[in-house]
Each structure stands twice: as C-alpha cells, then as structure tokens.
Amino acid sequence: MLATTRGRWIGGRVLALGLALGGPGCERDPAPRDADAGEPAATDEAADDAPPPREPEGDAMVGVLVPSAEVVLVATGFARLERLDVQVGDHVGEGAVVAEMDVRGDKSELASATAAWKASKAELERLELELQQARASRADVEQLEDFVSRAELREQRFAEKLAGARKRSAGASLSQQRSKMEEASARIAEAELRAPFAGVIAKRYVDPGATLSTGEPVVQIIADARLVRFAVPEERGDALRLGAPVRVRFEDVPLEVSGTVSTIAPEIDAGTRLILAEAELRLDDAQRELLRVGTVGRVRFAGG
C-alpha cells in the first residue's frame, strides 16, 4: 500500500533572496583606488594573485535538486512486520519486495476457503447430474402421459425444479467461496510491500517484529530520476516553455548538467512575481552519486 509524497516548492523568500543575489540588479564593488592619485590601484603582484574571472550570474535562477517521485510504503492492516531487510541508502529495483507483513492468519483463511470452494464445486457437479437425471425422468413420464397418472407427472416435474434450485444454491455457494479465496489472496499479496519504481531507501521508520496498524509508515523511497525546481521572474516568462533546454550548475560539487523543462506552474506567484517550474535532468550514475537531494544550483536557459 502506498502513500505518495512530493518535495516542496522552493520558498518564496529563499528564491527571492537567491534571485536578488544573482540578478541583473546586483552591483559589484568598485575597484580600489589609490588615495593620492585618485586612480585604481594596480600592481603586477596583485594581478598575478587575482582569482580567475567568474561567469556572470545575471541570468541565473536559483534551483533545488529534488527526486522525480517519493513514496512511503505503509502497513496494509493490523499485523506484525515479519521481514524488513533494507537499510537507509540501499538501492531497490522496481517491483522489488522491500518488506513483508505477517500473513499466517490470511494463509489459514485462504486454505479454508480453498477447501470449501473445492467442496462446493464437487457438490455443484453432483447436482448438475441430478438435474439431468430429473429432466430425463420427466421427459420419459411425459411420453407415457396416457398411461401414468397426473400425480406422477406432477411429481417428476417438481423433482426437476427442485434439482434446478439445488444447483443454483450450490452455484451461489461456489461464488461465495471463490470471493473469500480472492480476498485472502489479495491480502497476502498486499502484505508484500513492493517498490513502485527504482530508487533508494530514504527513511526506515520501524524494525522487524514491530506490530503495526493500518496506514502506519514502514519505509520511504525516493526515485532515481532527478528534477531541479526553480523560479523564473515574470519578465523572463517568455523563455519558459515545455521542453526548453536548461543548464544547471552546482557549485558545491562542482558540476554542470543539462536538462529540459518538464512542468510549469499555471499561475504567477502574487507575492514574488515568480513562475515556478521543474526541469528533468540527464544524469549518469556517477553524477547521481555526487548530487544529493536538496543541493542548490544555478539554472540558465540554454537557448539564452
């Protein structure tokens, strides 16, 4: 059973602050001037020690790395957690069994329902033969209608109807037992908590042996795929479109990767006048290992 969660959008204040720090309105500190000559001071030694010029940040937008999907696997009923082999940081494939609840009661109910279903099926087959026999007897008596009493003819017709009613009752019982089998099988299947996508275990809430109630969290999984969430100033909204190429630079790593805009908010934030968007990143395994969820980067439109 799943309870899906998504990462939060970047806070307006944080975005506004980041945009202000990297926006076109930023002014750089003037070069130091010589107090006597009134001209900028410059020496060969200072020129040698000066850091290399950085790429201008005027067109960059603040973005945060987030997973494309997050999910919390929860207990499907009141039961004991029988198995939980994964640890935080473990990678799991799509459809892999992450945890398993104790299903001994459900297995016992399934066995009982299966036995009852088999018995009902055999009874239905017996009553089908009984109905066929009653029909044949009634047909034989009707052919001898001139030689038998009306009471005997009524008796044969009544026996046929009674056999048909018994067959219908057995068929209903068979359907009921089949439903019990399907319900028990479904509970057993749901007791195996499987990863809906390939990802990494982000949180582990309980340990094996714990007794859980319905909906209680077991583990949290984040998808392998990564997105960058960023905000675009209103005046630059013309460049924002689905499929637009972007470049994202993560200075702390350092690393620069490419991506494409995948989602765009339908409205402009009234307080910050920003448009929130997401871009899918193209990362290999090595880059994904370097970049942790929550890393802040600078986003630029590649076409610009």
pLDDT > 60? residue 56:
no
Strand-pairing partners, residue 200, are 91, 222
pLDDT > 50? residue 35:
no
Measured from the Cβ of residue 232, the count of other Cβ atoms closer than 10 Å reads: 23
Report all structural domains of the chain as residue ranges with CATH numbers, in order of start. Answer: 2-24+58-68+225-301 (2.40.30.170), 73-101+192-214 (2.40.50.100), 104-189 (1.10.287)
Pairing verdict, β 61-67 and 226-233: antiparallel
Which stretches does DSSP call E strand in the chain?
2-5, 61-67, 70-74, 79-84, 91-92, 97-101, 192-194, 199-204, 211-212, 217-223, 226-233, 245-250, 255-264, 274-281, 296-301
Of 20, 304, 283, which is closest to residue 295 (Cα–Cα)? Answer: 283
pLDDT > 70? residue 146:
no
Assess contact for 84 and 207: CB atoms under 8 A: yes
192 in helix, strand or coil?
Answer: strand
pLDDT computed for residue 33 by the predictor: 47
The CA distances from residue 141 to 78, 148, 242, in Å, are 61, 7, 81
Pick left, alpha or beta for residue 273 (phi over 0 → left; psi -120 to 50 → alpha; otherwise beta). Answer: left
Task: Give 49: exposed, middle or buried? Use CB within 10 Å, 0-12, 13-18, 19+.
Answer: exposed
Dihedral angle at the C-alpha atoms of 147, 150, 152, 153, nearest 10 degrees? 90
Task: Give 16: exposed, middle or buried? Use CB within 10 Å, 0-12, 13-18, 19+.
Answer: buried
Whole-model pTM: value is: 0.60
pLDDT > 70? residue 145:
no
Rounded to the nearest 10 degrees, what angle do helices 104-143 and 150-190 cross at?
A: 160
Q: Give the model confidence (pLDDT) of 171-188 as tens digits.
A: 888 898 899 898 888 888
Q: Give the model confidence (pLDDT) of 253-284 as tens digits.
A: 889 999 999 999 999 999 899 999 999 998 88
Of 218, 201, 173, which is closest to residue 80 (Cα–Cα)? Answer: 218
Instruction: Report CA torsion sign: 241, 247, 250, 251.
Output: negative
pLDDT computed for residue 304 by the predictor: 52
